[in-house]
Amino acid sequence: MRIVLIGQAAFGAKVLESLLEKGEEVVAVYTPPDGPGGRSDPLKEAAIAKDIPVFQPATYADDQVFAEYQGLKPDLTILAFVTDIISERFFKLPSFGAICYHPSLLPLHRGASAINWAVIRGRNKTGLTIFWPDGGIDTGPILLQKEVEIGPDDTTGSLYFNHLFPMGVDAIVESVELIKRGEAPKIPQPEEGATYEPPCGDRVAAIGWKKSGQEIYNLIRGCDPQPGAYSYWRGKKIRFYGARFLQGPTDESPGTLVQVDSAGFQIAVDGGRLAVGKVRAETGGKVNAAAFAAEKGLKVGERFGEAT
């Protein structure tokens, strides 16, 4: 079976490696154009190492791009971590169609930030879906799904790297086997209960201190490692990571710095305290929250809040 793989990053590279280990014939790989300074994608590098042709179109709307794809005569196209907009004609051309990995239990959390939103919404489980793309936003029929629990302290990063990344690679390989055996279902997605959320960027990541402590904690976990939930201190944007929610009574107003220790600092929230382990200011990378507090002179009693 002639497979075309469209994807990127470490996930795409691992999918390619796993398919080749299974003896599958990957006839071409599509990745995004090289980044700044000519930085190439891990999937591109993995394909070149195996002498597999690599295509890097700036857009999939170009007829010449589709003509090149058509010339590959794919039997199956696999989408493994795709952020580009790809038209339906690319999915209809292969004799077996196309399958796509999505890190949620569709129809929940359609969109580009599915893992983030499962955590932000406070769900206790999520998972992945392999589906047959139909040109809509994560709306095609389901081939298979896998579930995973969301622990009370899981972040978007821990869910992806510890669970949804390795499970996703295995699920794609399993799906290919089902397709080859003629046993791959096409289960229509129900529209009842479907959700779609926007990308998890700064319009989402601002902390509202009037919300409950659990809601704030879910937001911080859901925005960790990207984009980083944020508040303002002395008019400067500060992003929080590695947080814990310490439930219990507190007399301080939400957003008030109540403790600084070797582990970081603690902020009062409705229903307890938020212990912050790392922060990132407007410039520079992540640093230990305690070191940041010492360097910048954060004082107990100061408030985090809105921009001034």
Q: Which two tokens stand for residue 271?
A: 């229903």
- Of the two residues 191 and 167, the one the predictor is more confident about is 167
User: 210-296 maps to which CATH number?
Assistant: 3.10.25.10
State what percent of residues in the chain have pLDDT above 70.
99
Mean pLDDT across 163-187:
98
Q: Which two tokens stand for residue 92?
A: 């209809």
84's CB contacts (< 8 A; 6+ apart) are: 32, 59, 60
Mean pLDDT across 171-186:
98
CATH topology of domain 2-180: Rossmann fold (3.40.50)
Residue 307 pLDDT grade (very low, low, confident, very high; cuts 50, 70, 90): low
Mean pLDDT across 261-277:
95
Burial of 231 (0-12, 13-18, 19+ CB in 10 A): buried
The predicted pLDDT at position 209 comes to: 96
Reported as a single tens digit per residue, the pLDDT across 76-89 is 999 999 999 999 99
Q: Which two tokens stand for residue 278?
A: 């790392």
Q: What is the pTM of this model?
A: 0.95
Q: What distance in Å separates the CA atoms of residue 217 and residue 273, rounded to the nearest whole number? A: 10
| pLDDT tops 50 at residue 179 | yes
Reported as a single tens digit per residue, the pLDDT across 199-220 is 999 999 999 999 999 999 999 9
The predicted pLDDT at position 68 comes to: 97
Reported as a single tens digit per residue, the pLDDT across 43-60 is 999 999 999 999 999 999
Residue 308 pLDDT grade (very low, low, confident, very high; cuts 50, 70, 90): very low
Reported as a single tens digit per residue, the pLDDT across 18-36 is 999 999 999 999 999 998 8
Q: Across the chain, what does the average pLDDT equal? A: 96
The predicted pLDDT at position 2 comes to: 98
The predicted pLDDT at position 36 comes to: 87
Domains in the chain: boundaries: 2-180, 210-296
The answer to whether 111 and 101 have CB atoms below 8 angstroms apart is no
Encode the chain in three state secondary structure: CEEEEEECHHHHHHHHHHHHHCCCEEEEEECCCCCHHHCCCHHHHHHHHCCCCEECCCCCCCHHHHHHHHHCCCCEEEEECCCCCCCCHHHHCCCCCEEEEECCCCCCCECCCHHHHHHHCCCCEEEEEEECCCCCCCCCCEEEEEEEECCCCCCHHHHHHHHHHHHHHHHHHHHHHHHHCCCCCCECCCCCCCCECCCCCHHHHECCCCCEHHHHHHHHHHCCCCCCEEEEECCEEEEEECCEEEECCCCCCCCEEEEEECCEEEEEEECEEEEECEEECCCCCCEEHHHHHHHHCCCCCCECECCC
Residue 99 pLDDT grade (very low, low, confident, very high; cuts 50, 70, 90): very high
253's CB contacts (< 8 A; 6+ apart) are: 268, 303
| pLDDT tops 70 at residue 302 | yes
Residue 250 pLDDT grade (very low, low, confident, very high; cuts 50, 70, 90): confident
Mean pLDDT across 71-77:
98
Mean pLDDT across 153-158:
98
CA 96 remoteness from chain centre:
27
118-to-122, 180, 213, 274 alpha-carbon distances in Å: 7, 32, 17, 20
| pLDDT tops 70 at residue 98 | yes
Same fold, 2-180 and 210-296: no
